[in-house]
Amino acid sequence: MLRGVAVSYPDPIVNVVFFADNRMSISENNSVLHRIGKLPANILWLDYQGVGTSEKAKNLSIDAIKQDALTQFDYVKNTFDNSLPTIVHGRGIGSYFASYVAANRQIDGLVLDGAFNNISDLIANMVPGFSNSFTSMRLHDEVHSMQIAPILRHYDGPLWLVVAEKDKITPYPISQQLLDVSASDKKRISIIPGVTHSATLKSDFAISEYRRFLSSLSR
């Protein structure tokens, strides 16, 4: 069973389905909720299987997490204010699951925050800090099929890539490559000065850029 939070901030302008980075539990990162809430927004964030308060399935797989991601989006569409745009926001490893939702559901916008292009590069940059929740899976081919560029080649909706200036895990050139391959003509990238991979949303500039992206969405 997945556990997490659904929260509504006063006078929301958007619904956000948030997919977290690796090892990023809600209980240890609730400040992220408050930062997104400054948009303001309705937000759904559930811990991945085996992370935080969510139970781990007997046989953990990427396919199961992908299905969880679709279920979360469907819940938001059926529960949150449907007069507002609904976007998916993925940070780090979550950028893949957000992109997967974008490929399989009608979304109003896609936010990729510290995105990676392929899982091999991500693991190389993160080891030894990469969580066993992903690396311990025996479905090697399934893990290495986690690539974002092939999805973005077919995604033509609004896209915002945000990357930290000091990001050494998913550095700026990766986000620029993803921007270049995207089929969208409504795409932009923001480099957040002075911060590292996990700290983009701590910046007031990032929140300002987030609002700018949202202002470009049409309903």
pLDDT, residue 44, reads 97
pLDDT, residue 139, reads 43
CATH number, domain of 58, equals 3.40.50.1820
In angstroms, how far is the first alpha carbon of the chain from the final one?
A: 33
Query: Residues 124-145: pLDDT tens digits?
Result: 666 545 555 555 544 456 667 8
The total domain count for the chain is: 1
Q: What is 53-119 written as a DSSP string?
A: TSPPPSS--HHHHHHHHHHHHHHHHHHS-TTS-EEEEEETTHHHHHHHHHHHS--SEEEEES--SBH
Q: Which residues of the chain carry a pLDDT beneath 70?
A: 49-59, 121-143, 218-219
pTM: 0.90
Segments forming the whole domain that contains residue 205? 4-215
pLDDT, residue 111, reads 99
- CA angle 196/24/68 to nearest 5° reads 130
Query: Residues 103-113: pLDDT tens digits?
Result: 999 999 999 99
